[in-house]
Copies of this chain bind each other. A is one copy, B any other.
Amino acid sequence: MIRLTVLYNTPDDPEAFLDYYEHTHVPLAEKLPDLTRITWGKTIGRNAPYFLTAELVWDSPDAMNAAMASDEGKATAADVANFATGGVTMVVSEGH
């Protein structure tokens, strides 16, 4: 199992971000080849260190790398700049 954790900072326009994210970015990400699971959600709680988090899971690093190198992967990655005005942190974890 390999997991990509995506941590978005608070954007300039939170409402516009959420609308774009749900209706444009997530549909792109859902097309990533061999994706096992995608989950995402706005953070809750005061002083949350991030605005929205997402998790994308594949069975193996090879599957993730192939997905990222695909046309769908390139389109998804390129789309991030269209809405992530507050910046984004991505972390890849391999494990359990």
Contacts and interface: CB of A to CB of B under 8 A. Distances in A.
Given A3-B53, A39-B1, A45 B95 contact: no
Contacts of A42: 93-95
Given A3-B55, A55-B3, A55-B55, A91 B50 contact: yes
A78 interface: no
Contact of A48 (B45, B48, B92): B92
Instruction: Kindly state the interface size class of chain A when it binds its partner.
Output: 20 to 34
A17 to B, nearest CB: 14
Q: How many copies of this chain does one complex carry?
A: 2
A32 B39 CA distance: 21
Given A1-B39, A41-B3, A53 B91 contact: yes
Nearest to A95: B41
What are the 8 A-B residue pairs with the smallest beta carbon separation, nearest first?
A41-B95, A41-B93, A53-B93, A41-B94, A43-B93, A44-B92, A44-B94, A43-B91
